[in-house]
Amino acid sequence: MAQAVEPNAGGTVWGGLKTRGRLVIGLLEPRFPLADPFPFISVFCDYLDMNPELPKPVKRALRELAGRAYEAELHKALTELSEDFERWKRGEIDSFELGERIHKFHDGPNRELYVRYSSPCDLRLLVGYAIHEHLIEQESVPEHVLPYLQGALSFYRDQERESSASG
């Protein structure tokens, strides 16, 4: 079982997994909320060897892949914001409305992505999710890294199957 490593006002960080009544791991919060994070931790351990000692070349490749996933998500979010700039240029919204949308972007999607990709988290989770969501193609993952991602990929496939079956 992971132990608490960093208490904070908003919750506790368990081995890099933030808890606040429901589990927050990278992109999981909006898609797979849980009332109690502890069962999830033991379930996830079945999918992913929680041994944090990955070979340095694997860690390096995972960091690079996570960076590419961050860029892909940020690009998508900024593309949506750029549509607001186009509406402003056409006179459909005024400067105050555009300023408000920029502010909401900064405090919303931009901040969420920053926290997701800069918080201590198992990179296998981030990269596995990015592959699952087609932010990066599995074919672009170096062969020596794929075995380390199988647990995370299985987890996300199973989560998707369960959510499809229940709703």
pLDDT, tens only, 90-145: 999 999 999 999 999 999 999 999 999 988 888 998 999 999 999 999 999 999 99
Range of the domain at 14: 1-34
Q: Do 15 and 63 have their domain in common?
A: no
Mean pLDDT on 147-155: 92
Who contacts 5 (Cβ-Cβ below 8 Å, separation ≥6)?
A: 13, 14, 15, 16
Q: Do 3 and 81 have their domain in common?
A: no
Number of structural domains found in the chain: 2
The reply to whether the predicted model has a pTM over 0.85 is no
One-letter amino acid identity for 55?
A: P
Instruction: Give dist(CA 36, CA 56) in Å, integer.
Output: 34
Q: Do 14 and 95 have their domain in common?
A: no
Q: What is the pLDDT of residue 52?
A: 58
Read off the pLDDT band of 23 (50, 70, 90): very low
pLDDT greater at residue 49 or residue 10: 49
Q: Do 67 and 30 have their domain in common?
A: no
Q: Do 87 and 141 have their domain in common?
A: yes
Q: Do 11 and 78 have their domain in common?
A: no
* pLDDT of residue 40 exceeding 70: no
Q: Do 70 and 22 have their domain in common?
A: no
Read off the pLDDT band of 50 (50, 70, 90): low
% of the chain residues with pLDDT over 90: 55
Q: Do 65 and 147 have their domain in common?
A: yes
* pLDDT of residue 15 exceeding 60: no
Mean pLDDT on 68-72: 96
Average per-residue pLDDT for the chain:
77
The reply to whether 166 falls in a domain is: no
- How many helices (H) and strands (E) in the chain? 7, 4
Q: Do 75 and 146 have their domain in common?
A: yes
